[in-house]
Structure 1
């Protein structure tokens, strides 16, 4: 339906917003009710501002003035209610199907995120080179496109583990838990790299729906189960657990992960800030030993080997 709609509409208004993270969901909801093409919300890593860039385009028709007016009103209310120090940066441009003013077109191209893993949007054809692992992810919501640093750390850790780049052997026919799955990309990558089965969970129903779509795009419905669950609901063990979560959640779930990661199994976690010492210290006391760390100076991740005493 998206493709047919785009063929029928020849002129568009491109909208680009630079937002604090706490506003991305609210603005995303605003655009849900519109005819929107290629809505992308991505951390503004080029400027390293801690803000997020929302880019999308809407039809240039008789309703566009009303849409822009409603958006401007909503932004003004948010700026006032939340006492933002600076106004939200809004940029609007007109273009046709043949011209594109912003960077979101690059999200329509395959992107290599590790030595072997390539992410591509579902509509695009791509012939993988020898040894490449291609994952189809549609960048269309607040759950991103798989290129955020914390996600890439997890992908690199998976590749390091299954490509036998560590001092330990990877788990054979591993059963994987992807905790806080978002798009489902980590569960998909784990299966493509050699895991046997995966359970992908998230407490957000929107994430569950999106993960299911991406699992289907990658033809893995029989290998990956997606459920709306919390880590606290899990009562089984796994050879490998993936946890791309915020620092407070990583700290809160430490004891739970110690119960659901099998002895001798692995925990790949990301979402820590550069000051990762306190989090890693908690996990060390629980029996998780660091195999490798990943950092870009701002975010951090690690792959841990679970070796509990006794």
Structure 2
């Protein structure tokens, strides 16, 4: 069963009250507290800005939950600052995730593309190989949403194209696009740690100079691409539809994922005014929406 997690920063003094509020007012199915000092996934490198406070509060929700409403309820509680730091992300099934961590192996997507952990032999040296280990941010290819986007990218001719990875996370889609022939790739994410993860993973793949990364407020003015891929969630895909459509060149292609099968048609309708939408592709309750811009 798919899940969504909201992670937010707290202090030792207010974490418990925030946890109670998340359970009672926002419909969280469970709440977990983590000592930030024991959470290396968000530990900053020298010169980086840490996102979280002394205690990280993790609230788990059914994937159909309106997380925008939950965030609004958190803001209205008076327990957090108005501009509090938080992160919304998809969560893999826990049994599946444990199996992956214990037995992560090279995975093929489409005809040419492989994602390989560094400790395994590359099955096909002549293929397009992305080297990626468990790291700073979501996205290693095991989740259906990432797999759907990788499969789509593999089926495109990206030679000479400009690609935007909107919500780049680990950078797996941006790195795959470069290795599949894209001339220029731009990763955009609201999370500075995701930008760091993308750069680190690009460096491990020997292509750091071929990927640019930006926070949304810092991206170049008038930025547009031949191909845009956005593996985020249904809520942001609806709320940011005008922004995402504005990034696509005329006749350019778009792929979106992070959408449940019950949400896909509604999300697609936000894009039909400017795009021709393809048949929606489903994998294990998650969907990929693709299309191309008319003009």
Q: Same fold (TM over 0.5)?
A: yes
Residue of structure 2 in register with 1:33 after alignment: 37
Q: Does 1:282 align with 2:270?
A: yes
Tell me how far apart the structure 1 counterparts of residues 170 and 218 of structure 2 sit (CA, whole Å): 17
Paired residue for 1:116, among 91, 112, 125? 112
Tell me how far apart the structure 2 counterparts of residues 285 and 239 of structure 1 sit (CA, whole Å): 18
Paired residue for 2:152, among 157, 169, 177? 157
Q: Does 1:224 align with 2:211?
A: yes
Map Cα deviations across residues 238-292 of structure 1 (whole Å, 9 max, x no partner): 1111111111111122222232211011111111210311211221112x11245
Tell me how far apart the structure 1 counterparts of residues 62 and 139 of structure 2 sit (CA, whole Å): 15
SS of the residue corresponding to residue 30 of structure 1 reads strand
Tell me how far apart the structure 2 counterparts of residues 231 and 153 of structure 1 sit (CA, whole Å): 29
- Name the count of aligned residue pairs: 222
Residue of structure 2 in register with 1:259 after alignment: 246
Q: Does 1:173 align with 2:160?
A: yes
Tell me how far apart the structure 1 counterparts of residues 99 and 277 of structure 2 sit (CA, whole Å): 41
Measured at CA, do residues 230 and 300 of structure 1 come closer, stay the same or move farther in structure 2, by a change above 3 Å?
farther
Tell me how far apart the structure 2 counterparts of residues 153 and 226 of structure 1 sit (CA, whole Å): 23
Q: Does 1:295 align with 2:282?
A: yes
Gaps of 5+ in 1: 1-18, 38-48, 52-89, 92-100, 163-170
SS of the residue corresponding to residue 283 of structure 1 reads coil
Residue 130 of structure 1: how far off its partner (Å): 6.3
Tell me how far apart the structure 2 counterparts of residues 223 and 270 of structure 1 sit (CA, whole Å): 24
Measured at CA, do residues 203 and 28 of structure 1 come closer, stay the same or move farther in structure 2, by a change above 3 Å?
farther
Map Cα deviations across residues 141-192 of structure 1 (whole Å, 9 max, x no partner): 4514222111111111111223xxxxxxxx6511111110000000111111
Measured at CA, do residues 208 and 28 of structure 1 come closer, stay the same or move farther in structure 2, by a change above 3 Å?
farther
Measured at CA, do residues 132 and 151 of structure 1 come closer, stay the same or move farther in structure 2, by a change above 3 Å?
same
* TM-score w.r.t. length of structure 1: 0.62
Tell me how far apart the structure 2 counterparts of residues 244 and 228 of structure 1 sit (CA, whole Å): 16
Residue of structure 2 in register with 1:183 after alignment: 170
Does the 8 Å contact 1:178/1:201 carry over to 2? Answer: yes
Tell me how far apart the structure 2 counterparts of residues 222 and 208 of structure 1 sit (CA, whole Å): 14
Tell me how far apart the structure 2 counterparts of residues 181 and 30 of structure 1 sit (CA, whole Å): 25
Q: Does 1:246 align with 2:233?
A: yes
SS of the residue corresponding to residue 270 of structure 2 reads helix
Residue of structure 2 in register with 1:4 after alignment: none
Gaps of 5+ in 2: 10-30, 42-60, 64-93
Does the 8 Å contact 2:137/2:197 carry over to 1? Answer: no
Residue 29 of structure 1: how far off its partner (Å): 8.5
* TM-score w.r.t. length of structure 2: 0.65
Report matched runs for 1:123-142 at 5 Å: 124-129=119-124, 132-142=127-137
Tell me how far apart the structure 2 counterparts of residues 131 and 139 of structure 1 sit (CA, whole Å): 24
Does the 8 Å contact 1:135/1:188 carry over to 2? Answer: yes
Aligned CA RMSD, in angstroms, stands at 3.4
Tell me how far apart the structure 2 counterparts of residues 258 and 102 of structure 1 sit (CA, whole Å): 38
Measured at CA, do residues 23 and 199 of structure 1 come closer, stay the same or move farther in structure 2, by a change above 3 Å?
closer
